[in-house]
Structure 1
Amino acid sequence: MAERGLFARLRFSRQILLLQVGVVVLLLVVGLALVAALLRNTLTDDYGQRALAIARSVAADQAVVADVAAKRAGGALQSHALAVRTRTDTSFVVITDDRGIRLAHPDPTQIGQPVSTDYRVPIGGGEVASAVEKGTLGLSVRSKTYVKTPGGRIVGEVSVGFETDDPTADFQHLLLVAGGFGGLALLLGIGASALLTRRLRRQTHGLEPHELTELLYEREAVLHGIGEGVLAVDGENRITVCNEEAGRLLGIALPVGADLSELDISPRLRTALADGAEVTNLLAVAGERVLVVNSRAVRHDDRELGTVLTLRDRTDFETLTRELDSVRSLTDGLRAQRHEYRNRLHTLSGLLQLGHRDEAVEYLQTLTDSVASGAGPVGETVADPYLQALLVAKTEQAVEKGVALRVSDDSWVPAATTDPIALNTVTGNLLDNALHAARMGDRRPATVEIALLAQGSELHLSVVDSGDGIPAELRETLFTEGATTKLTPGHGLGLALARQAARARGGDVWLGDPGGENSGALFVAALPGIVGGGPDGGELP
């Protein structure tokens, strides 16, 4: 238990090193054992085959066959056997008759004695090869064959053997060579394991497995727990990390490994990623949403790892800001009217106090006619209160900018609208751009005219200004976020938002006439299903 605890306390990289070294050692030991067994068997068989070949050559000698058939023990047969033994460096050459009685033997005292091992196989016409047996001369590797006369009768056997020390010496030599190669392989294995362990430690920055697991849990918790969208790309603009919020805000699928240049993303996002520079609070449009984008380049040890983008939803805030601007404009207009009417009331009070009754009545009549004729730019042609308020506010803004804003005489919106936010987004942005173009244009007086016409539940509107028109280089990218003729930063979203809001309802916003020498630009919008029922609750004409 103590040793196991000590191993567990080692760093993961060292555990891997020890395990790899252990595996290498185990494989080498098992391999050497197999090699040793194969070598021993091979050497035994080799010496047995050599003994069998010698025995066959002795048994084929006609002088030997004649002496064995005549059972002449010793003498020439003994001399011949000893000569073969000396010449072939074998341990023994033994010749017997057909009953196993020795006729030649290295030990002359054993001649005439029966052999100590089984002789029935060769006498029966068979052969024994590579048998490890113990006889009077000790343990040896021996082979046996029969002695046959020319007439085909088996008259004896020849047994040739080598002492087991002979193959053992060769085996030890070969085993020593194999052990040397095994030791070299062990050193190479340990070196490779050490290099692999070092690379593993470098790749994991020295972190342990439990630390990597905790980092994974923390990464998942942070990515999916925050309310912002997070999108990370590598140096080749391939997505490496993203959370669900990023996909929801962008309105597209963001599979890991996908090339961001092939996805339908905002041009501003694409530009920010292509430049590689840090971006702070960049406004971009994605679907119906206005996003605040921040971009940071990621580096580690002077190595560029990619870019991380954070996305925040600013749609609701942008809507509230535009509504607040409309309310503020309307309030400023009402405040100006309040001062004007206060001055008129003071004048009327002074006339009455001075006793000029007839002049007071005439002045009051004049004021009444003025109010009746100046009820605003819309009169009774536009029934929607939100649209009325927007037009009143924009009229006041136009006056402040020296621009005359008119509502076309043929305008007709007889009922309230069903989506005032979308309508105000489209109308407000078109009017803002038209007022700016008219004010900055060369034509005077500067004018903007808006036409509103309800056709059933669909509302058509057009806005034309007296400005200089749309430059040719901007006409193709006019509705792309970031495209603007204004010099100050933070612009280029109005037309993109207007078109997005219109298309979200199945409508559209487009450039009807780019303008030029004779007139300013004309923008047209169609918003289906945005006008409610008529005053009596029935369908609109």
Structure 2
Amino acid sequence: MRFTRQVLLLQIGVVALVVGLGVALVSWLLRSTLTEQYGLRALAIAKSVAADPVVVEGAAARRQGGALEERVQAVTKGNDALFVVITDDHEIRLAHPTPSEVGRKVSTPAEALSGQDVVSAVQSGTLGLSVRSKTPIWQGKRVVGEVSVGFEVATLTGDFNRLLVITLGFAAGALLLGAGASALLNRRLRRVTHGLEPHELTELLYEREAVLHGISEGVLAVDGAQRVSVRNGEAERLLGIDLPVGARVEELELSPRVRKAVEEGQPVDNLLAVAGNRVLVMNSRAVRRDDRALGTVLTFRDRTDLDTLSRELDGIRSLSDGLRAQRHEFANRLHTLSGLLQLGHHAEAEEYLQTLTETASARSLPLGGEAVADPYLQALLVAKSEQALEKGVELKLADDSFVRGSVTDPVAAGTVIGNLVDNALHAARMGPRRPATVEVGLFADGPALHVSVVDSGLGVPAPVRLNLFDEGVSTKLAPGHGLGLALARQAARARGGDVWLADPGGDSSGALFVAKLPDLLVEAAS
């Protein structure tokens, strides 16, 4: 049997049980109340008879029949009672609806002769079962007899049955109403659960937990009200923030691209986003059911390692291109030297060889000479110099650069300096000024490293200056850019520093970017 049907039958059973108990309780109360009412009515009649002077005098004189019998017959007929009986103080009937019973002892205990009223006693006498009340007949302070008045139980039962039929009608209506409400609730339950059984819902819960926490991708789902409804631990790890269920999106520290994807709810495929020091590949889908928007689901993949490998591959490719160019240049020089020797121009060959030696010695010195002592920074500057030479741009180190310490975090330094220099090389190469130049300044302030990069390009356009460091914002026309500056700022801020645009540039010079990296240097060993 389906769970919803079990619930329906259980609810109807509970309603029927409650209604049945209610009817039983009401029936008992009705019976008790009617008995009490008939008893009080009988007591009132008995007291009125006991107060009659004729009855008091007749009871005191123990006079049977006569005036007492007339009183009994009149009262019995006038009140539709079963009987009105008068006895003396020895329990002998003085008046009775049946004349043959006069002079005999009463068939039920004469409790009222003790001076107390008896109310609503259900007793069986000569006239059958009845509800009776008894009261003493007082003559002064002496009890001279009692008056007993009774109503037939059948009369009480008739009134009870009429009231019980009305009660049963209301009970049937309540039962039908409860059954109808249970049916509606059952239908609502089926609609809310889409007809799924409890064990199926449990299996779905287990499957959802297994899928959410068993995959290597981050999953974040928000409902139509922009609240977090589902997320897994991988999403929190990749985004670097807590994602409590029920939190609103605007309360979370999400990057602009992620926030925009959530708020707009438009499909997104393989969009790059920056979260902390990570580069994420994001996909977004809007979820709908029966033309109803349920929210948005986003998935994240970590591309940091892949991006690092890509950068290393670009560095190796740049190095190989530089080596290839040097090989061609070296071959050309050897051919020139060989031609001079074959033609017998030994003096010219010697002079040419001396010139090549001096040039090679000059080029073997690192960029900046002894101003930058850290080997990693020297290697980075040399690699960028080769890259600049290939692009037709002159890379220079500022005259006042001075760094004597050693770098403790080459990755952060490479991310910040490399991205700033790459953007500057592109701006200088695309700019109209010639010669195209890029000047890098490196300054040590205790353990902090200050970096400045200025190029000879046209500067940063005004429309993008305010959000230049947001992922996806770039002055380059080709797609796939807009992450370098965002990564550089994230890397600097992770160390307590920052990267900012000090001068957007203009007609006289290009843009100037400045970075501060605290606690990046340690004092070089002497």
Q: TM-score range by the shorter chain?
A: over 0.9
Q: Is 1:174 paired with 2:160?
A: no
- Of 474, 499, 521, the residue aligned with 2:511 is 521
- Of 95, 99, 104, the residue aligned with 2:86 is 95
Q: What's the counterpart of residue 45 of structure 2? A: 54
Say which SS state the counterpart of residue 96 (structure 1) adopts: strand
Q: Name the CA distance, whole Å, in 1 between partners of 2:5 and 2:514.
A: 73
**Partner amino acid for 2:70?**
S
Say which SS state the counterpart of residue 295 (structure 1) adopts: strand
Q: Is 1:83 paired with 2:74?
A: yes
Higher mean C-alpha deviation, range 510-519 or range 381-390: 381-390
Q: Is 1:105 paired with 2:96?
A: yes
CA contact (8 A) 1:377 1:406 kept: no
Q: Is 1:481 paired with 2:474?
A: no
Offset from partner CA, 1:177-210 (integer Å, 9 cap, x none)? 1001100111111000000001001111111111
Say which SS state the counterpart of residue 374 (structure 1) adopts: helix
Q: How does 1:133-212 map to 2 (within 5 A)?
A: 133-149=123-139, 151-212=140-201
Q: What's the counterpart of residue 123 of structure 1? A: 113
**Partner amino acid for 2:117?**
E
Identify if the C-alpha distance between structure 1 residues 193 and 226 changes in structure 2 by more than 3 Å, giving closer, same or farther: same
Q: Is 1:339 paired with 2:325?
A: no
Q: What's the counterpart of residue 370 of structure 1? A: 359
Q: How does 1:441-460 map to 2 (within 5 A)?
A: 441-460=431-450
Q: Name the CA distance, whole Å, in 1 between partners of 2:343 and 2:391.
A: 40
Q: Is 1:297 paired with 2:286?
A: yes
Q: What's the counterpart of residue 504 of structure 1? A: 494
Same amino acid, percent of matched pairs: 67
Shift, 1:485, TM fit:
1.7
- Of 295, 298, 312, the residue aligned with 2:301 is 312
Offset from partner CA, 1:464-504 (integer Å, 9 cap, x none)? 11112222333332222232222233222111111121222
Q: Gapped runs of 5+ residues in structure 2?
A: none
Shift, 1:20, TM fit:
0.1
Q: What's the counterpart of residue 35 of structure 1? A: 26
Q: What's the counterpart of residue 428 of structure 1? A: 418
Q: How many positions carry a matched residue from both structures? A: 525
Q: Name the CA distance, whole Å, in 2 between partners of 1:331 and 1:308.
A: 43
Q: Name the CA distance, whole Å, in 2 between partners of 1:103 and 1:128.
A: 19
Q: Name the CA distance, whole Å, in 2 between partners of 1:168 and 1:373.
A: 128
Offset from partner CA, 1:273-322 (integer Å, 9 cap, x none)? 11110111121122222222111111111111111111222222222211
**Partner amino acid for 2:151?**
F
Identify if the C-alpha distance between structure 1 residues 70 and 416 changes in structure 2 by more than 3 Å, giving closer, same or farther: closer
- Of 387, 400, 411, the residue aligned with 1:397 is 387
Shift, 1:509, TM fit:
1.8
**Partner amino acid for 1:31?**
G
Higher mean C-alpha deviation, range 365-374 or range 206-215: 365-374
Shift, 1:414, TM fit:
4.7
**Partner amino acid for 2:518?**
P
**Partner amino acid for 1:524?**
V
Identify if the C-alpha distance between structure 1 residues 379 and 146 changes in structure 2 by more than 3 Å, giving closer, same or farther: closer
Q: What's the counterpart of residue 470 of structure 1? A: 460
Q: Name the CA distance, whole Å, in 1 between partners of 2:456 and 2:92.
A: 138
Shift, 1:353, TM fit:
4.1
Q: Name the CA distance, whole Å, in 2 between partners of 1:303 and 1:529.
A: 53
CA contact (8 A) 1:139 1:164 kept: yes
CA contact (8 A) 2:94 2:103 kept: yes
Offset from partner CA, 1:341-395 (integer Å, 9 cap, x none)? 0121223234334444333322211211221223366163344444344333333
Say which SS state the counterpart of residue 155 (structure 2) adopts: helix
Offset from partner CA, 1:14-45 (integer Å, 9 cap, x none)? 00000000000100111111011001000111
Say which SS state the counterpart of residue 369 (structure 2) adopts: coil
Identify if the C-alpha distance between structure 1 residues 248 and 377 changes in structure 2 by more than 3 Å, giving closer, same or farther: same
Structure 2 length-normalised TM? 0.95
Q: Is 1:259 paired with 2:264?
A: no
Offset from partner CA, 1:100-154 (integer Å, 9 cap, x none)? 10111122111110001111x31121110100011111111000011122x3332
Say which SS state the counterpart of residue 150 (structure 2) adopts: strand
CA contact (8 A) 1:333 1:393 kept: no
**Partner amino acid for 2:297?**
V
CA contact (8 A) 1:351 1:357 kept: yes
Q: What's the counterpart of residue 20 of structure 1? A: 11
Q: Name the CA distance, whole Å, in 2 between partners of 1:503 and 1:129.
A: 95
Q: Name the CA distance, whole Å, in 2 between partners of 1:369 and 1:44.
A: 133
CA contact (8 A) 1:330 1:392 kept: no
CA contact (8 A) 1:326 1:390 kept: no
CA contact (8 A) 2:130 2:153 kept: yes
Q: Name the CA distance, whole Å, in 1 between partners of 2:419 and 2:523.
A: 26
- Of 227, 243, 261, the residue aligned with 1:272 is 261
Q: Name the CA distance, whole Å, in 2 between partners of 1:456 and 1:98.
A: 125
Shift, 1:251, TM fit:
1.8
Q: What's the counterpart of residue 233 of structure 2? A: 244
Higher mean C-alpha deviation, range 355-364 or range 255-264: 355-364
**Partner amino acid for 2:432?**
D
Higher mean C-alpha deviation, range 40-49 or range 374-383: 374-383
Say which SS state the counterpart of residue 74 (structure 1) adopts: coil
CA contact (8 A) 1:377 1:395 kept: no
Q: Name the CA distance, whole Å, in 1 between partners of 2:446 and 2:36.
A: 107
CA contact (8 A) 2:270 2:281 kept: yes
CA RMSD of aligned residues (A): 1.9
Shift, 1:410, TM fit:
3.7
Offset from partner CA, 1:239-266 (integer Å, 9 cap, x none)? 1111222222222221111111012111
Q: Name the CA distance, whole Å, in 1 between partners of 2:518 and 2:180.
A: 75
Q: Name the CA distance, whole Å, in 1 between partners of 2:89 and 2:296.
A: 97
Q: Name the CA distance, whole Å, in 1 between partners of 2:493 and 2:29.
A: 83
CA contact (8 A) 2:368 2:397 kept: no
Q: Name the CA distance, whole Å, in 1 between partners of 2:283 and 2:269.
A: 5
Shift, 1:408, TM fit:
2.8
Higher mean C-alpha deviation, range 379-388 or range 294-303: 379-388
**Partner amino acid for 2:275?**
A
Offset from partner CA, 1:53-103 (integer Å, 9 cap, x none)? 111111111122222222221122112211111111110111111101011
**Partner amino acid for 1:331?**
S
CA contact (8 A) 1:449 1:463 kept: yes
Identify if the C-alpha distance between structure 1 residues 320 and 203 changes in structure 2 by more than 3 Å, giving closer, same or farther: same
CA contact (8 A) 1:327 1:393 kept: no
Higher mean C-alpha deviation, range 358-367 or range 247-256: 358-367
Say which SS state the counterpart of residue 526 (structure 1) adopts: strand
Higher mean C-alpha deviation, range 450-459 or range 95-104: 450-459
Identify if the C-alpha distance between structure 1 residues 312 and 211 changes in structure 2 by more than 3 Å, giving closer, same or farther: same
